[in-house]
Amino acid sequence: MTVFDAADFDNHHRLAFFTDPAAGLRAIIAIHRLRNGIAGGGIRMWPYDSDEAAIADALRLSRAMSYKFALADLPVGGGKTVVIGDSRRDKNEDLLRALGRAIDSLGGCYICGPDVGTTPEDMVVIGRETDHARGRPGESGDTSPATGFGVYHAIRAAAGHELGNDDLRGVRVAVQGAGAVGRALCRHLCDAGAEILIADIDPAAAAADFGASVVSPDEILAAEAEVLAPCALGAVLNDRTIPAIRAKIVCGGANNQLAEERHGAALAERGVLYVPDYVANAGGAINAVAEGADYDEAAALARTARIYDTCRRVFEKAEAEGIASSLAADRLAEEIIDG
């Protein structure tokens, strides 16, 4: 099978492979679409089980970035970098600078930022080799607070649509993952008076900070709650987990939550309102695109809050056309991209 036959290949503009044996670099950069000659997306470093898994992730994530930017009304296309390796063990200055040179060789058509396994500080090192790194400290920096803020507004929109009230006071939200995004979301949920359940490898600090109840990672997806918020890694919504979900709403910050596209329809068939991840978690991308010498945090967050309105458009289209919300979001994004 060739890349062109891969299930996740969507007529991508470019799929580039980069190696630097001396630096230990093995990276894939996928560009799904260019808009105004540019694509943007984060750098994910992960110890993939196979090269095929890394390619699939790059293809899926870059496509999601195109859709994310389109629905957020941002004038760039989607891209993604995946670096094969364990960020805790394999990441070093030589590898990051080699990656910076790889990005620079694309001539400015791809703008990178931090993602899973990379940090704002890493963007400083990458930026020594290219002018096309964003998300450094002192610029927009950590995008997690904006991402969590956007997910919070997406949950409000879903609650208004499904529960009849976007006031989250007393609403039980099961948060899977207490990383940077999960914690940012929990802060807003706590301030809104929501009841929080949380699952993480080390949930104690988050539970104490937000008055959350701790649930085991094995039980969180089936927790008794109005909202399930996946904020860890992807593919958690699948044939095994979907039948066990009790929540009326699924809305979280993780990327690629659906193991396969058909699982969006599977959630709809069970009467679960799913907020497509690339709609809910667009706040970080909105914040990153806004950065620069004239970066205005308040303006970026105000734009992020409009995710609420985007969600309502998705729900309305899904109902009008009798389709799953995941497909409705895809169609809205494609109309923008193709228009």
Integer Cα distance of 56 and 62 in angstroms: 10
Residues in the chain: 339
Q: Write the DSSP assignment of 151-206 as a string of letters.
A: HHHHHHHHHHHHTS----TT-EEEEE--SHHHHHHHHHHHHHT-EEEEE-SS-HHH
What distance in Å separates the CA atoms of residue 229 and residue 151, rounded to the nearest whole number? 9
The DSSP code for 238 is: S
C-beta of residue 275 within 8 angstroms of C-beta of residue 250: yes
Burial class (CB in 10 A: 0-12, 13-18, 19+), 132: buried
Cβ-based burial of 4 (10 A; exposed 0-12, middle 13-18, buried ≥19): exposed
Tokens found for residue 119: 């940090």
CA 31 – CA 14 distance, rounded (Å): 5
The residue among 258, 270, 261, 282 whose CA lies nearest residue 331 is 261
The residues, any chain, with a CB within 8 Å of residue 285's CB and separated by 6 or more, are 40, 65, 68, 69, 72, 74, 143
Residues β-bridged to residue 133: 112
Q: Which of 239, 254, 120, 231 is nearest to 176 (CA)?
A: 231
Residues with a known catalytic role? 80
In single-letter form, the type of residue at position 168 comes to L
Q: Are strands 77-84 and 39-46 parallel, antiparallel or unpaired?
A: parallel
Residue partners of 194: CB distance under 8 A and separation at least 6: 168, 169, 170, 171, 172, 173
